[in-house]
A and B are shown apart, each in its own frame.
Chain A
Amino acid sequence: MARYDIAIIGTGPGGISAAITARVRNKNIVLLGSRNLSDKLSRAHRIDNYPGLPQISGADFAQALRDQLAGLGIGITEKRVASVYAMGEYFMIQAGEDILEASSVILASGLAAGKTLPGELPLLGRGVSYCATCDARLYRGKTVAVLGYSDEAAAEAEFLSEIVQQVLFFPLGKTEPQERDNLRILREKPEAIEGETTVRGVRTAGGLCEADGVFVLRDSVAPDRLVPGLELTDGHVAVDLEMRTNLPGLFACGDITGKPYQYIKAAGQGNVAALSAVAWLRELQEKKEK
């Protein structure tokens, strides 16, 4: 597998700024995100404090960023990053169905929306799971609930129904699976996950839907779930002035590092993160030569 120098996760102003600097420094990069760049940016009516671009609209700003990427020959790899694993001297990135390798990573994926449900974290690993493909087989012959927030949730529920006895699907996003004998769709709003030592079920206004396991499938995940072992401060990735995180070789920039949630700050941090990644790569290289 080819190993990238730098994997940049996120296509808001932070990630794009990092990509530009990294490319100018001749690094072999992969930029993971969306052709639409960033929902937040495309919805911005007007940006008033970006030096040199007075009162530019979010849409125009996004177009200018796209043009700049194209001019530098930087493509966008449209894959959802599920996990980043710190392997020691490098990183493994689960992106869609693929696994990518990179010597360093810049995390610029923005704010993780969505709060956790009551009971979700205390029961994690005690019936609550975030990974259908990982844990499906532990629920053979049992009943599981799927909280389907993400676009992939419907497909994952169908996959689960091939293994477990009964799937209860709560459609909370845009997609829903085909109903079948052992896959029921429940149009109720989950309020909490209940259980003492293990999951008992999903609490809704209508009562308790009993289940042995609950798969919570969201689009955006908290940063420390995206990158196991990553240190947070108040829900944001903890970084120093060089945009270093607690994991050597992993840097972060933009909204994910905390307030202010501003484009100009994200772009500035993206630049610093890329330069720090370049410095880190040089250190790695020097270590190898010794």
Chain B
Amino acid sequence: MIEKIQNNDLHKALESAYAVVDFSAVWCGPCQMLAPVLEEVAAQMPDVAFFQVDTDENMELAVQYGIQSIPTLLLLKNGRPVDRSLGFMPKPKLVSFIESGKNK
């Protein structure tokens, strides 16, 4: 399950041991492609919390995290940004990106 962030409120992600935050928007093609892949990955990684930030609705967060291109995936470990990745990724790469972030 991927939780939609509202009102720039990221506290649940910041309190998670591991969180993936997907900065995206409805009008962005690659974001729409990434979404179902992310859903699949979320379903098989119960120890990671997944969030989606619509940058139009949550501009403050986008600015705060310096998001200048979407989709951007931000990896948080105990609330600390440990890695980010830009653009679409196929599933195996997405999984290894998240796994490797756990050790950072």
Contacts and interface: CB of A to CB of B under 8 A. Distances in A.
A129 B87 CA distance: 10
Contacts of A247: 90
A174 B69 CA distance: 27
Contacts of A87: 33, 36-37, 90
Interface residues of B, number: 28
Contact of A137 (B30, B56, B84, B93): B56
A85 B68 contact: no
B3 interface: no
B23 to A, nearest CB: 9
Given A134-B70, A135-B70, A198-B66, A229 B89 contact: yes
Given A134-B31, A198-B66, 18 more contacts: A85-B33, A85-B88, A85-B90, A92-B33, A124-B86, A125-B68, A131-B30, A133-B27, A135-B28, A135-B69, A137-B25, A138-B62, A198-B68, A213-B68, A228-B30, A228-B87, A228-B88, A229-B93
A88 interface: yes
A235 to B, nearest CB: 19
B91 interface: yes
A138 B29 contact: no
A85 B90 CA distance: 7
Interface of A: 83, 85-88, 92, 94, 99, 124-129, 131, 133-135, 137-138, 197-198, 213, 228-229, 247
A83 B86 contact: no
B96 to A, nearest CB: 11
B37 A134 contact: no
